[in-house]
């Protein structure tokens, strides 16, 4: 997976995802980044975060 991201980054056609240290940082980044997307356990999702269901 990392190799795929590196190819996109170094060719100038993509940007690698931001790594976070814990779930609290993930929550803050999702809340403060317009259009931000992240992965959380359902129990950690607060009212200020919208859920996008993917079928």
Domain of residue 15, residue span:
2-42
Residue 49 lies in a domain: no
Residue 53 lies in a domain: no
pLDDT tens figures, 2-42: 898 899 999 999 888 888 999 999 999 988 989 888 888 88
**pTM of the entire structure?**
0.65
Residue 11 lies in a domain: yes
- Confidence tier at 53 by pLDDT (50, 70, 90): confident
Q: Look at the chain and report how many structural domains it folds into.
A: 1
Give the tokens for residue 5.
């991201």
Query: What is the Cα–Cα distance from 47 to 20, expressed in whole angstroms?
Result: 21
- Confidence tier at 44 by pLDDT (50, 70, 90): confident
pLDDT at site 48? 79
Residue 48 lies in a domain: no
pLDDT at site 25? 94
Residue 54 lies in a domain: no
Query: What is the Cα–Cα distance from 49 to 37, expressed in whole angstroms?
Result: 10
């Amino acid at each position: 997976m990392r190799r795929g991201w590196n190819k996109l980054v170094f060719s100038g056609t993509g940007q690698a995802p931001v790594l976070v240290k814990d779930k609290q940082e993930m929550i803050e980044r999702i809340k403060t980044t317009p259009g931000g997307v992240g992965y959380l356990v359902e129990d950690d999702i607060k009212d200020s975060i919208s859920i996008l269901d993917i079928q």
